[in-house]
Structure 1
Amino acid sequence: MSVHYCGYEWLKRAYKLDLDSPNPVSKVGGAKSPDSRIFRSEYQPEDTLAGHLLFALKHENMNLGILKALFNACDKKELEQWISENPQGQQTRRTWFLYEWLTGKELNLPDADTKFRYVDALDEKSYYTADKINSPRHKVRNNMPGVPTFCWLVRKTAAMKAFDAKQLHKQMADAYSTHPMIGRAEAFLLTKDSQSSFEIEKEKFDNRAVRWMKTVRAFMGSRLDDAKLFEMQKQLVSNPDNGWRADFGWIGDRLPDATPLPEHISAHPESLKELMDAWLKAYSLMFERHPVAAATALAYGFIIIHPFTDGNGRIHRFILHQLGKVPVSSELLESIDDYIASLKKLSAPILDRSEWTVTADYNVELINDTTELYRYADATEQAEFIYKCIEQFVTHRLPLELEYLSAFDEAKRIIDDAHDMPDKDLTLLVNLCVQNEGVLSNKKRKLFEQLSDDNIAFAEKTVKEAFTDYFRMKG
């Protein structure tokens, strides 16, 4: 049976659009495969711009990168004719709006009839969106989760809807907001999150990390702007950029002769101001929207652009925490392979389309213009992964930490009542016992020469009893 490509794939081939798509290829006929969707013959559209554009909008995931390239390549008179013949159609008005929104150019069409009912630019049953702003010209409600020059999408998949139904953020608030230990737990977890974020980068937790924690606390409740981002990088690295990165950037390894082996190519330094201005506008649009969708799209968009020479990863994880309302660096560290895979899934298509050469100082220099590749992406898989991390935090890490603090206070109180000790020594004793499942190791026994063997045995028994639930929960 012959194969007839449909939707985006037909448009790519017909208009010679050299772009990748994360979507499965749609076709009528041919063999089934993991990277294709087979439609029955009655779905086959006319081989026209309008036919396949309508098919894509109705049956495929939104791909803003392909749409923008298509709008710049096609004959706009053909679009104008299609829209004029179907002025009330939802998909024609969406197309009209998206054309003018993405390209910044107007089609030669009169404003939509005021009697038409408004239609959403993005279907809110299928996508996480921004607040609606009416566009009277098209009779379309602009709910795009970004701006024309930076807009990453997250779809409402079955997995995302299942996570939404669990109401993890509400669970956390209902269960723990009035817990007597919650303030201390939040402070401890913020420290642990910062430690994990540094560990992911294989960086020492030193005085810079302490400065970073203070910066995190200072900026967590306020909206970011370029000045705050510059200050964050300044607190992280010894040689800050004092602005956006001025040189080319890449992540990867090197051959023995120092030749770069990039796994990710950062956005061109000359594109950074415009890209980051757009990113900041999208950040403001989504600041109080769906926490996981917004956190994922903005945090992953940030790290893929890579606007700084150093410090991008830790700022990326700050954004995940700030917008996602949960510190997840410890979960990311525990699932480091999945985390790295989630990053590579977005960076690999950019690397494949980046043409670069090695400079005299062994840096990477981009030859082609790749700016468009950073503007649009589908971050749904990444959002599902981040949701899993948030669930792990809410259902395991936070209750575990609260139990730890309660048990810690109880053990300290009982031991202190029996053996009056300096607080720092008592704290150390309990910590060392907990680290070894309630037993003080022989190697650490010499730290407490002032205590008899009976005193140590009492402390061990007390810790085991106080931490029974903690050890059980920890597994």
Structure 2
Amino acid sequence: MKPAGYAYLNLHYDLRLPKLGVEVYQNPDADREEVIQYGASKRKILPGHLKYEDNPYSQMHTAIKLQGIRLHFFAAIYKKINVAEFTAFIVDKPTSQYNRVLWFLYEWLTGKRLDIPDLKSANYIKLFEDDFYYALQDGQKNKRTRVINNALGTPDFCPTIRKTSEINELDEADVYKTAFAKMQRIGEQLSVDVIGRSVNYLYTKETKSSTEIEKEKPNRQRMQRFLNAIKNVGLYELNKQSIINVQNQIVDEKFKATDYRESEIYVGTTIQRFGNRDEDVHYVGAKQEHVASMMDGLFKLHENLMIDGSVPPLFHATLISFGEVYIHPFDDGNGRIHRYLIHDVMKHREPEHKFIIPISAAILKNQRKYDQVLETISVPIMAMLDYEFDDSNRIVINNDIDYMYRFPDYTEHVKFVYEMMDTAISEDLLKEVCLLTVFDCLKKFINDNADLPNNQIDMVLSIIIENGGEVSNRKRKRIEALLGEDILNQLEELASHLINDIRDKFEVDVVAMMNEES
């Protein structure tokens, strides 16, 4: 079988880029197109009768036609291309749709101008086809190539999201409407006060979970600063200074930044064995010399998406938050900023929503899935990166693969963020609302039928809920002395009914929750 499209280009230019999820090959003996399993990946097999020229420029057409525009491939190719040959290929058919795309991409990605006169006439074509990619609604017309640049970002930073069948379904989802719809099923007992108290609890839980993901135990002051940052998402424009201010709020005093990092950085663990020290490197951030331009690109991407407004808010939040964590612009705090940015972007896009959905708590419960989605970007980067440690144990990067950081595909990341949001709604937000609803209903019953101070009411309800709706024999006399036997019996009956009703409606075990929080 002969490689075609990106598989061909990878070999021809010796790019050493990790293979795509589906590689394209042509089988001279095949009479039809099919997709086959090839180990852990897949191959699209093209029939032998189709004509594919054995030259890199025609294969660029094949790549785009069959697998869309993969920006990191073209950014790598254009560093190695024979410019004179490439120019001659474009000039031969300058109005060809694929030639115009290749021409535009070369000048856009490299900042260099090919020796080709501007087109005088031709219909405008979109760079990214709407049927296959999320792109800006309007874009900018490039008069020279007659291409509408509807890319989400800029050559400094431009992630993509492909319109797969799964992603198309998520496009229609609204996580806040889903959250409200689930809470409304509680019925008339649901109150604004209950939602408000639940949200306050979840703000704290989000703060705690976000630090636990980093396997840190910050002091109370830092936790409070991060809590304040989360509560104030959406108040400030997203730019370099505002993100530095957030970093300053959430890290230890000695790690506060005044600018982006000035050295290379990696994520990993130190292994001490028999007196020797070794570094298990999981991920290396973008080269320090590229951080500023990539972050400029990140902020421009955010601005584009804010003005355009057509990309769903949670897609937008995914692009910005994961972009930040892969660039890794600071010496400390990148992971917490990453999760902060999900909420910040959502608030910028949908300011009418009064609460956050605690995604960090969901991620903490699904750490392996989080690692797996991060690895869709980090593993290919680490496979290509040439690095070492110097005598001072500082990491040194010997090759430049900035295109792997500038042009990522975040399709899998969107799916992950939606899954975590759904988990957060079902397992955190809804559960907390259910628990407080039960607690408030029982508290109202006591207030209507007995005269007890709040601290004693809280004590009684904790005992009853923790024990599944009844009081144990050992504590019964004590509670009867406060409420009386008849009121206690009615309280137990009501508690059992509410606990069982919540379990039947939502599969939420408020007894277990009460025991966890006690």
The question of a shared fold, defined as TM-score above 0.5 by the shorter chain, is answered with yes
- Which residue in the other structure is 2:217 paired with? 204
> Mean Cα displacement is larger for which, 86-95 or 381-390?
86-95
In structure 1, the residue matched to 2:241 is: 227
Report what 2:127 is aligned to.
121
State yes or no: 1:68 paired with 2:75.
yes
Q: SS at 1:261's partner residue?
A: strand
| Distance verdict in 2 for CA 1:314–1:470, change over 3 Å | farther
Residue in structure 2 matched with residue 279 of structure 1 by the alignment: 298
Contact 2:16–2:384 (8 Å) recurs in 1 = no
- Match of residue 337 from structure 2: 315
Matches of 1:277 and 1:444 in 2, distance apart? 63
2:129 match: secondary structure: coil
- Give the Å deviation of 1:246: 2.7
For residues 265 and 198 of structure 1, do their structure 2 counterparts lie closer, same or farther at Cα, with a shift above 3 Å needed? same
The two structures have a TM-score, normalised by structure 1, of 0.88
Of residues 106, 109, 112, the one that matches 2:116 is 109
Indicate the percent of aligned positions where both proteins have the same amino acid.
28
In the alignment, structure 2 segments of 5+ residues that lack a partner are 29-35, 185-189, 348-356, 510-518
- Alignment correspondent of 2:515: none
389, 393, 412: which one aligns with 1:358: 389
SS at match of 2:207: helix
> Deviation at 1:45?
1.5
Aligned residue number for residue 80 of structure 1 = 87
1:138-182 Cα deviation digits (max 9, x unpaired): 222211111102111111111111222445455446776997344
Residue in 2 that maps onto 1:141: 148
Structure 1 stretches lacking a partner, 5+ long: none
Cα deviation, 1:292-338, whole Å, max 9, x if unaligned, reads: 32222222221112112221111111222333564422221222211
CA change 1:355–1:329 in 2 (3 A) is same
**1:243 alignment counterpart:** 259
Residue type at the aligned position of 2:261: R
Whether the aligned pair in 1 keeps the contact of 2:234 and 2:345 (CA below 8 Å) is no
Q: Is the 8 A contact 1:45 1:52 kept in 2?
A: yes
Alignment of 1:161-310 (within 5 A): 161-172=168-179, 180=192, 181-204=194-217, 206-238=220-252, 239=254, 240-256=256-272, 257-287=276-306, 288=309, 289-310=311-332
Query: Structure 1 residues 146, 446: closer, same or farther in 2, change over 3 A?
Result: farther
Cα distance in 2, alignment partners of residues 444 and 61 from structure 1: 69
1:265-290 Cα offsets, whole Å, 9 max, x none, are: 12233332222222222222224432
User: Does residue 7 of the first structure (1) align with residue 39 of the second (2)?
Assistant: no
- For these two proteins, the number of residue pairs brought into alignment is 472
- Quick one: distance in 1 between partners of 2:394 and 2:464? 50
Deviations 1:405-458 (A, max 9, x none): 333321221123334333345345535654554457899999989847958766
Q: Is the CA contact (8 Å cut-off) linking 1:267 and 1:374 kept in structure 2?
A: yes
TM-score of the pair, normalised by structure 2: 0.81
Q: Which letter does structure 1 place at the counterpart of 2:244?
A: F
Distance 1:441 1:277 in 2: 63
Letter in 2 for 1:192: K
1:16 aligns with 2:14: yes
| Inter-CA distance 401–363: structure 2 relative to 1 (3 Å threshold) | same
Moved more, 194-203 or 458-467: 458-467
The one-letter code matched in structure 2 to 1:268 is K
CA RMSD of aligned residues (A): 3.2
SS at match of 1:378: coil
Q: 1:468 to 1:53 in 2, by over 3 A?
A: same
Contact 2:203 2:358 in 1 (8 A): yes
Q: Distance in 2 between matches of 1:273 and 1:447?
A: 66
Greater Cα offset, 46-55 or 392-401: 392-401
Return closer, same or farther for 1:434/1:94 CA change in 2, 3 Å cut-off: farther
Whole-angstrom CA distance in 2 between matches of 1:315 and 1:437: 40
SS at match of 2:78: helix
- For each residue in 1:25-53, what CA deviation from the matched residue of structure 2 results, as whole angstroms up to 9, or x when unmatched? 21112985134221112445101232100
Equivalent in the alignment of 1:410: 441
Which residue matches 1:130? 136
For 2:312 and 2:450, the matched residues in 1 are separated by: 52
Would the aligned equivalents of 2:358 and 2:428 in 1 still touch at CA under 8 Å?
Answer: no
Q: Tell me the distance in 1 between the aligned counterparts of 2:42 and 2:455.
A: 60
Give 3-state SS (helix, strand or coil) of 2:162's partner: coil
SS at match of 1:152: coil
Structure 1 428/36 Cα, relative in aligned 2: closer, same or farther at 3 Å? Answer: farther
* Whole-angstrom distance in 2 between the partners of 1:235 and 1:442: 50
- 2:324–2:338 CA contact under 8 A, matched in 1: yes
How far did residue 121 of structure 1 move? 1.1
- Bigger mean CA offset, 133-142 vs 96-105: 133-142
User: Contact 1:356–1:364 (CA<8 Å) still a contact in 2?
Assistant: yes
